[in-house]
Structure 1
């Protein structure tokens, strides 16, 4: 039996609200294909560095992973790409994963980068069905969400056009729980994340 529990290190509260439930569903779908009948997915958990950790983001990522080592079996590190996802990953994620691996030299650290092209809100835009599930007026989703210069603003405009009165921030978990994985499969950045997560699950299964 392969036990899967992701620890998510993200940039802000709404990122956790959206990504944690999405991650649970994605891990279950991937594991069902990789290890049918031989896995258990526990709810993903938001992680952060303990208070008082000196240094920058790399040190905080390493400390957060070390702090939750006994509870989580793989780690997902999120950073918005701000239009330069490769560079943002190199600066904001890779050093932290390297530091965590140096800190936990006794065990293999299974960790994955999660980097939308600009903002994670772009991953909330490809599925018309989510907006229908919210009710209200019909809205038109963008054809290529990852090319939106301000996905957060686009999301807010779509919700307003649909007549939704709840704060946008209150709906992130709903999107994470509801958006279809096959709709997300139209986004290259999400596909990169999904493929790396698949590799990470194989790595996790190979650990004695």
Structure 2
């Protein structure tokens, strides 16, 4: 998604390296804000854009204020040019995995008819729902082992139907623009 979004914003003028999953250096100490700042500081020399994730736990605005914003503010004290985007699903990221039936047909067989919720972001426990859908389809592997596949295969068009994903994509576009401005580009 990052490469496609960058290319749409800056056609022919962007290079996007592979994404890295990072966390605070071990042993992780301190409050979440300090751990976010430490993780970014640890990778500052090799990354130019950071995505900070927090589960929304049915109150994404509060999760943003309490789990993401303090970490961004703490980091900006040391790195004022920080380009960051928040990724805060309404409840959990697993809800975003429940939006595209094609991924389930890839996993469960082309004839599979997974019973996906009409509004995945309203699921009270998306992890439980994901596990149930996979189990009902005959999948015996734990859902956590399939997250990478979902991340690579879920349709962006399907994700764009979800309000929390729309907000994430808007923030990501803003972070890409910030990186471009720091490199002397204008949009």
Does TM-score exceed 0.5, indicating one fold? yes
In the TM superposition, residue 112 of structure 1 has moved relative to its aligned partner by 1.0
Which structure dedicates a bigger proportion of its chain to strand? 1
Task: Note if 1:198 corresponds to 2:173.
Answer: yes
Task: State how 1:1-208 maps to structure 2 within 5 Å.
Answer: 26-52=1-27, 54-105=29-80, 108-136=81-109, 137-208=112-183
Please list the CA deviations of residues 91-146 of structure 1 after superposition, one character each: whole Å capped at 9, or x if unmatched: 011000000000224xx000111100001100000111111111343212110000
- Aligned-partner SS, 2:90: coil
- Aligned-partner SS, 1:41: coil
- Per the normalisation by structure 1, the TM-score is 0.84
In the TM superposition, residue 37 of structure 1 has moved relative to its aligned partner by 1.3
Distance 2:136 2:38 in 1: 43
List gaps (5 residues or longer) in structure 1: 1-25
Q: How many residues align?
A: 181
List gaps (5 residues or longer) in structure 2: none
- Per the normalisation by structure 2, the TM-score is 0.93
User: Segments of 4+ in structure 1 off by > 3 A?
Assistant: none
- Aligned-partner SS, 2:15: strand
- CA root-mean-square deviation: 1.2
- Aligned-partner SS, 1:70: coil
